[in-house]
Chains A and B, each alone.
Chain A
Amino acid sequence: MSRFGSIAAQIKPIIFVVGICFLLLLILLWWSESRPRPWTQAEKSILKTLNIANLPVLKPDPSNAVADNLHAAKFGQSLFFDTRLSGNGKVACATCHQPQRRFSDGLSKAVALGQSQRNTPSIVGSAYSPWLYWDGRKDSQWSQALSPLEDPAEQGSNRMYLARLISNDSFYAKTYVELFGELPDFNDTSRFPENAGPMSYPLWNQAWLNMTAADQYLLSQVFANLGKVLAAYERKLMPGPARFDEYVNAVLHEDDTVPAKELFNSQEIEGLRLFIGEAGCLQCHNGPLLSNNEFHNTGLLPFPGEVPDQGRSKGVEILKNDPFNCLGPFSDEMSHQCQEFTYMRTGSVVLGSMRTPSLRNLGGTAPYMHKGQLSTLAQVMEHYNAAPLALIGHNEAKPLGLSKKQLGQLELFLNTLDAPLSTADEWLLKPDSSTLGNVTE
């Protein structure tokens, strides 16, 4: 008994020391686990490509002669918020593209005069995209801006009515003449009816068909010019630096005043690591705007009551036949280069594909996807994790096999991309009618 007691007394300190060591090891493990692995040089160079500071200077739009004209932008801003540009006088561009929602509307599918076919995309940063709309059926901002004006489900107006509206409004008429020269005289009602325009109500369409080709051309030119001033305004809408960009700056310049760890928590860091690595998001969401502006089929289910949307494969056909495309008579592109248009991918390779949206406007742009099929980012993460079979064409995404925790980390990271626009506040409001025409900037 006493012998056993002496052995126990000898062993006690050893057990104590081993125990302490074990505890220390556990603490060390926990500490190293909770401390994110530092970024490798390769990862840092990827992060750099996503930084908004690396957004290139916006190239001129050769198809739009007034794209960078300040007067045109002011004119466009007024038109953007003007509800008179609609069939019932109640719908403006800003009805669906709401500044406080990153120029989107928070609906699955847009609702104006009727319900439109797809989800309202944000306009912010869209000047960088060679393609507009989910299916890329427009190849310039100015051409895109024309469609909703005449779409019966959207603003439901017609180009004859709009041209008259411009010539009867003193500010609009004055600015128009300064930018584009004299407006045609619309007083001759035998040549120019009250309402006329193709692709709208049968009565207006018939009136349009009754016009001479020369008058149709005159009218379409005025119409196209309205698109061009709207585009001049929309070119000003640009995303601002987000917490993500601050973090990247801190990571890249370690001597910066704000240390990186104060900007991102470990969950967000792991989310970013997944984003640029295992989750494969960069395949489509790359560059400072986090979009490759290309078309991809990601196997989304159709909207209830609808057949699967063919997306780009139909968009290409519409674009080819659009008189307002880059090669058309209303484009200011004189050299007829239009490389994007000339070399676009067509046919079954793009079946069911939609344009990759920028991830810089996620805040306020839910529900997501081309028909707003997914209402939360969590659902979007689950969708890409599962990568289901596409009903038409082929889902280009592959199942990721990420855990719930990892999907949560990705979502937390995506939220760090949200930021107010870099555009000055005066551009984000309906302009005060008393200041119309006073171009200050």
Chain B
Amino acid sequence: MNIMRSINLLVSSLLFVLYAPSLLAHGSVVAEGDLCLIKIGFYTSHFKIFQPLASKEREFCEDIPASGESIFVMEYRHQELANVPIEFRIINNITGKGRFAKLEDVQAIKDIDAITVFYQPPTIEPQVFTALHNFEQEGNFLGIVTVKHPQTDQYYSAVFPFSVGVNSWGLIPLFVCFALLAQLIYWTSSGGFGRWRIATKTKLNKRNGFVIKCRPMLIFATSFLLMGASSETTRAQPSWVSDSGSLTVTFKSEINPLPINQMHNWTLHLQDQNGMPVANALITLTGGMPVHNHGFPTNPVMTQYLGNGDYRVEGIRFHMQGDWVLNLVITTVDFMDTVLISVTL
């Protein structure tokens, strides 16, 4: 019975762990740090949605709060996007897969025009892609961005599900179902049914068994809360993987949110693939605003190793709002690696 219980727990946990990453990525639009990115084949671009009439310059990543005039903006990260025609289509999400709809599901639709609510034919936009659609109704939609390869006839599509004005409970109902199901399996497998029958016969005090019976549910609840909490902290303290993939870098600014026109210091934290801190590395920093074609107004320097994989970086100043990048070169006696950190102010 104990073995059964362990397996059950393991399976539930595994399910949860496997399931968790897809929560943060809806189709081709993903959050990276504070930025919202869309991946169209090998192209990447910043992606944002605005409802200027309703919420002025407030930025949305995918779900938008109400029907009405909505502006889709893509600011290219991959400069080749400036030279290729970009096609944009919004359809009703009839795939039945909700948030997990993928390109295959869209391709399976026979008459896409019948469910298309907005279509912008392929156009070359050298600076920025913009599209405007006035959503007459609330609901669930799929956005499809299609781009041609610069040389070949290959086409790439990005599909991102989003909701308009649907006050979504998100994945909470799904979680509750999973938790209840796991609980049921556990309860049955651990002989709960038998005990229940005895209990009803002997009028045994059920309170004693409550904690044990609800254990998977509790685990789910806790992990869900932790998930929520950790996704919050991910926003505040995102992490970046080095170009070789062997290092993960996080930073803490001594001033939050990141200030403009104010000199301040950071603590960088380096850890390897196993989550162990990386000690005694040399870090050099350069960077700037690629969009503005200018570098930093200062020359930030790593001044001290603080222990436990933490490094002090002094002299950081951002002199305007926008997207900034920091290029880190990390050198130890064993290896050299590079990381690109992007932040938006």
Please tell me if the beta carbons of A394 and B291 are within 8 angstroms of each other in the complex: yes
Task: Verify if B320 is at the interface (C-beta below 8 Å from A).
Answer: yes
Interface centre among A313, A389, A395 (most CB of B within 10 A): A389
Contact B260 A302 (CB under 8 A): no
Given A301-B57, A389-B59, A394-B320, answer yes or no on A351-B71 (Cβ-Cβ < 8 Å).
Answer: no
**Could you tell me if B57 and A392 are in contact, using CB atoms closer than 8 angstroms?**
no
B320 touches A396 (CB 8 A): yes
Shortest C-beta distance, A168 to chain B (Å), equals 43
Q: Is there an interface contact between A398 and B128, defined as CB atoms closer than 8 Å?
A: no
Contacts of A439 in B (CB 8 A): none
Whether A393 contacts B320 in the complex (CB less than 8 A), given A302-B71, A388-B56, comes out as no
Q: Which among A38-46, A138-146, A303-311 touches the partner chain?
A: A303-311
**Does B105 lie at the interface of the complex (its beta carbon under 8 Å from any beta carbon of A)?**
no
Bound state CA distance, A397 and B75, in angstroms?
20
- Interface 1/0s, chain A 101-114, versus B by CB < 8 A? 00000000000000
Pair B71/A391 contact, Cβ less than 8 Å:
yes
Most interface-central of B52, B127, B130, B293 (chain A CB within 10 A)? B127
Chain A 328-358: CB-based contact to B (< 8 A → 1; otherwise 0): 0000000000000000000111011000000
Q: Contacts of A393 on B, CB cut-off 8 Å?
A: 128, 291
Interface of B: prevailing SS = mixed
Interface size bucket, A side? 20 to 34
Is A317 part of the binding interface, using a Cβ–Cβ cutoff of 8 Å? yes
Contact in complex: A305, B132 (CB < 8 Å): yes
Within 8 Å of chain B (Cβ to Cβ): is A299?
Answer: yes
Query: B58-77: which residues lie under 8 A (CB-CB) from chain A?
Result: 59, 69, 71, 73, 75
Q: Which of B52, B292, B321 contacts A349 (CB 8 A)?
A: B292
Residue pair A317, B52 in contact (C-beta under 8 Å): no
Q: Is B126 an interface residue, CB under 8 A from the partner?
A: yes
Least CB separation from B289: chain A residue: A394
> Assuming A305-B69, A388-B56, is B132 touching A310 (CB within 8 A)?
no
Which residues does chain A contribute within 8 Å of B293, judged by CB atoms?
Answer: 347-349
* Contact partners of B53 in chain A: CB under 8 A: 304
A301 touching B52, Cβ below 8 Å: yes
**Given A391-B52, A394-B321, A307-B127 contact (CB < 8 Å):** no
Q: How distant is the Cα of A389 from the Cα of B56 in the complex, in angstroms? A: 9
Residue in B56, B75, B134 whose beta carbon sits within 8 Å of that of A392 in the complex: B75
A260 at the interface (CB under 8 A from B): no
A391 contacts which of B73, B131, B260 (Cβ < 8 Å)? Answer: B73
CB distance from B342 to the nearest CB of A (A): 15
Docked-complex contact A308 and B292, CB < 8 angstroms: no
Q: In whole angstroms, how far apart are the Cα atoms of A243 and B260 in the complex?
A: 37
Is there an interface contact between B127 and A391, defined as CB atoms closer than 8 Å? no
Which of B130, B131, B260 meets A398, CB within 8 Å?
B260
Contacts of A391 in B (CB 8 A): 48, 50, 52, 57, 71, 73
Neighbour of A389 across the interface among B71, B128, B132, B321, CB < 8 A? B321
User: Does B322 sit at the interface, judged by CB under 8 A?
Assistant: yes
CB of B96 to closest CB in A, whole Å: 32
Per-residue B-contact encoding for A379-408, CB less than 8 Å = 1, 0 else: 000000000111111111010000000000
Q: How far is the CB of B107 from chain A (nearest CB, A)?
A: 28
Contact of B321 among A348, A352, A392, A395 (CB under 8 A): A395
Q: CB-CB < 8 A to B320: which residues of A? A: 394, 396, 398
Residues of A within 8 A of B322 (CB): 394
A308 to B, closest residue via Cβ: B130
How many angstroms from the CA of A299 to the CA of B69 in the assembled complex? 18
Closest Cβ–Cβ distance, residue A390 to chain B (whole Å): 7
Q: How far, in Å, is A30 (CB) from chain B's closest CB? A: 35
> For residue B52, which residue of chain A has the nearest CB?
A301
For residue A390, which residues in chain B have a CB less than 8 angstroms away from its CB?
57
Residue numbers of A with Cβ under 8 A of B are 299, 301-302, 304-308, 310, 313-314, 317, 347-349, 351-352, 388-396, 398
Give the A-binding residues of B (Cβ under 8 A): 48, 50, 52-53, 56-57, 59, 69, 71, 73, 75, 126-128, 130-132, 134, 260-261, 291-293, 320-322
14 other contacts beyond A349-B291, A391-B48, A392-B73, with CB at 8 A cut-off? A301-B56, A302-B52, A304-B52, A313-B127, A317-B126, A347-B293, A388-B56, A391-B50, A391-B71, A392-B128, A392-B130, A393-B128, A394-B292, A396-B320
**7 pairs of A and B residues whose beta carbons are closest in the complex:** A307-B130, A394-B322, A388-B57, A301-B52, A389-B57, A313-B127, A307-B132
